Structure 1
Amino acid sequence: MKQLLYLDLYCPFTSQINKHVDILEEYALEWVLRFNLLADESTYKRFCKSKFFFLAASAYPYSNIEELKIAHDWLSWVFIWDDQCDLSELKKQPEIIKLFHQRFLEILNGAEPTSQDTLFSHALADLRQRTLQRASIKWFKYFISYLEDYFCGCVQEATNRAKGIVPDVDTYIMIRRSSVGVYAVLALAEFCNQFMIPDVLRNHYLVKKLELITTDIIAWSNDIFSASREIASGDVHNLIFVLHYHNQISLEEATKQVIEIHDQEVRSLLVLESFLPSFGEELDVDIAKYISSMHSWIRGNLDWYSHSSRYQNSERLELK
């Protein structure tokens, strides 16, 4: 079924892999072990099977190795924290998650971690320091705002679980656009490729629409591949389950609908790209890099599913 879905999804973008992928694979465990983020055998096995190094190398194919290592560690941090929010006792405790997130944001804004802080906070402080050695504070503030949006999505999901709510389709789409974290990983593409989108482009309505469609494409592909695990674990935050529940259709029919939605979004992205005006020679180079980054993430994310075993189990995690 996994391979069938992989072949069924429409993606006209070329597969690429960073030339440093082998170095990154050798490095992959170094940082997470240094900060003890894989503190038990279950978490360790999940991390190894997930192969985030392949995702980073596919999503950032032109990155230098040092930026690529940092991007990989950001992805690792987010995915490991995401599992805490989805699979540990935190999953139904939105107020506690909020407290964690408040501290994370303090760390990201420069607060020094103390002995009272969690492993996640100490790891974040290191990521902040390493990232700011290679990025501007202006870009990093944008990045923090995107992480804050992701944090809000995690809290909204936990709130729904605590209240036993299955969100309606429109509400779920809004939550998913935050919890999927795509804005943050697209910002990392700027970091990896050593450029920054000027504000005139970042705030342009067509660029914002391109980002939104890219977010939806990645969200729906993720929902397709993670549906079995999430439904088995009782999590309702998946477009396939939401359509199944509210429209009273079979899971098979809901899956077909989400595949169709995904494919239409890809086509919409291509159409919208064709309507982009010229912003001038210099800005056109920037927007071309950014759109290429979107394509790399869409293709790289899809390729990752055929290499990763991340969504093939549903075990419960202990809170770290």
Structure 2
Amino acid sequence: MRIEIPERFPVPFNAAINPFTGRVSQRFWEWLIQEDLIPTERSKERLRRSGIELASCYCWPWADSETLLLGMKWMFFFFRFDDQMEEGAAQRDFGRVCRAVEEITGIMSGNGRGPGDSTFPRSLHRTWTETKMGQPEEWVNSFGRNFCDLVRSYTDQSRFNYETPATPMGLAAYEEFREITFGMHWVYDFMEMVNASSKGYLPQQVRNGSAMRSLRRASTVQQALLNDVFSAARESHQDRIVNGVVLFQREKRCTVGDAVGYVLDRMEQLVDIYSEACHNLLKEARQCGARAQQAEAAAVRFIENMDAIIGGNHDWHHIVMRYATDDVSSPSGALCYPDDL
């Protein structure tokens, strides 16, 4: 599949970047080497192309250096798991994907048999222990639940992409599916923790309210559809069919170029839904009684950060080489990490 990237996307927000980007990026690479998480030249090159440090700095522009480093570690776990499940030995092995999902979610929930001997699970276990320290139980539960939901979604991704015969997925079902598989809910939780030091945590009724659900969903699916445009060519090399461009092309019986146009139209609609949800979130925050002032301040910062994430998602995709096709189209195959899950 050949896709021409549009000159403009319906993304009306500017990115913001963390001022500690350079210094923390160096510490991040030192941690990776110390933990033996990128032991081969191919894994190092996959990491360079993925722009994990840049993604983290766009997501949490107001994090201090220590918290930003912690966020980079989580972004790495997400990206590495994604690559191992979708481009490594587990790519077409549903049973192996299920075992890997069970191992990671067991560590996060505390119900597993321990992290075992592999470097990835052991490092994840240490980082999860560090992350939970001193945080409110409600926040810990939300972060753990959302990260586990993302990891579990890889069983569905594996089944939808490679089962024979393939199960058709409509656009509405795809958006519901993609809200989880794009992996932003744990990012939003981490964002709240970053901003809590100055603005406090959101009250539970605001965090779990209808406006927040609408805001998170619209933001996530909008970003995911942009990702679909950039990733479709690489995914087509790997016979992966669960992509918004592919689904619009099938449902509308149109060219790839027209399908991209439909994706952009849907992105624009989602920006409008997101903007309305932001307005409603502030209304809910102002109805928190004695906590209304603090709740509104936390909600304002949440929205400011979410705007920056949407803008950063746009810029990140234009900068990084994560979705280049030169490796997957070569005889040596995808640049990837060791298969240790």
* Partner of residue 223, structure 1: 228
Contact between 2:150 and 2:181, CA under 8 Å: does it hold in 1? yes
CA shift at 1:115, angstroms? 7.7
Task: Pick closer, same or farther for the CA change 1:46–1:203 going to 2, 3 Å.
Answer: same
The farther-off stretch of 132-141 and 110-119 is 110-119
CA distance in 1, matches of 2:120, 2:3: 32
Residue 190 of structure 1 aligns to which amino acid in structure 2?
E
* Partner of residue 266, structure 2: 261
Q: Deviations over 1:96-143 (max 9, x none)?
A: 222222222222234687684432211111211221235333311111
Counterpart of 1:131 in 2: which secondary structure? helix
CA distance in 2, matches of 1:120, 1:110: 16
CA distance in 1, matches of 2:4, 2:144: 36
Contact between 2:92 and 2:162, CA under 8 Å: does it hold in 1? yes
Residue 248 of structure 1 aligns to which amino acid in structure 2?
R
* Partner of residue 51, structure 1: 51
Contact between 1:67 and 1:192, CA under 8 Å: does it hold in 2? yes
Aligned partner of 1:284 among 285, 296, 301: 296
* Partner of residue 69, structure 1: 69
* Partner of residue 41, structure 1: 41
Contact between 2:20 and 2:65, CA under 8 Å: does it hold in 1? yes
The farther-off stretch of 194-203 and 102-111 is 102-111
* Partner of residue 118, structure 1: 118
CA distance in 2, matches of 1:3, 1:251: 9
The farther-off stretch of 97-106 and 46-55 is 97-106
CA distance in 1, matches of 2:228, 2:300: 28
* Partner of residue 137, structure 1: 137
* Partner of residue 106, structure 1: 106
CA distance in 1, matches of 2:113, 2:52: 26
CA shift at 1:304, angstroms? 1.1
* Partner of residue 177, structure 1: 179
Contact between 2:108 and 2:148, CA under 8 Å: does it hold in 1? no
* Partner of residue 308, structure 1: 320
Residue 193 of structure 2 aligns to which amino acid in structure 1?
F
Task: Pick closer, same or farther for the CA change 1:2–1:158 going to 2, 3 Å.
Answer: closer
* Partner of residue 254, structure 2: 249
Task: Pick closer, same or farther for the CA change 1:159–1:4 going to 2, 3 Å.
Answer: closer
CA distance in 2, matches of 1:141, 1:272: 24
CA distance in 2, matches of 1:209, 1:15: 22
CA distance in 2, matches of 1:138, 1:203: 11
CA distance in 1, matches of 2:114, 2:277: 48
CA shift at 1:49, angstroms? 2.0
The farther-off stretch of 196-205 and 134-143 is 134-143
Contact between 1:13 and 1:299, CA under 8 Å: does it hold in 2? yes
Q: Deviations over 1:258-301 (max 9, x none)?
A: 11111221122123323442332221112112212211211111
Contact between 2:108 and 2:144, CA under 8 Å: does it hold in 1? yes
CA distance in 2, matches of 1:3, 1:198: 44
CA distance in 2, matches of 1:4, 1:234: 20
Q: Deviations over 1:220-272 (max 9, x none)?
A: 11111111111222211210012223432111111111111112211221233
CA distance in 2, matches of 1:145, 1:23: 31
* Partner of residue 170, structure 2: 168
* Partner of residue 319, structure 1: 339
Aligned partner of 2:205 among 179, 190, 200: 200
Task: Pick closer, same or farther for the CA change 1:269–1:288 going to 2, 3 Å.
Answer: same
Counterpart of 2:91 in 1: which secondary structure? helix
CA distance in 2, matches of 1:172, 1:45: 31
CA shift at 1:148, angstroms? 1.7
CA distance in 2, matches of 1:141, 1:109: 9
CA distance in 2, matches of 1:264, 1:114: 45
Residue 304 of structure 2 aligns to which amino acid in structure 1?
S
Residue 252 of structure 2 aligns to which amino acid in structure 1?
N
Q: Deviations over 1:45-100 (max 9, x none)?
A: 01012221111111111110100000011001100110111111212233322222
Structure 2's unaligned 5+ residue stretches are none
Residue 109 of structure 2 aligns to which amino acid in structure 1?
N
CA distance in 2, matches of 1:311, 1:196: 35
Contact between 2:184 and 2:220, CA under 8 Å: does it hold in 1? yes
Q: 1:140-159, aligned counterparts within 5 Å?
A: 140-159=140-159
CA distance in 2, matches of 1:35, 1:114: 17
Contact between 2:85 and 2:91, CA under 8 Å: does it hold in 1? yes
Residue 63 of structure 2 aligns to which amino acid in structure 1?
S
Give the root-mean-square deviation of aligned CA atoms: 2.2
CA distance in 2, matches of 1:27, 1:85: 27
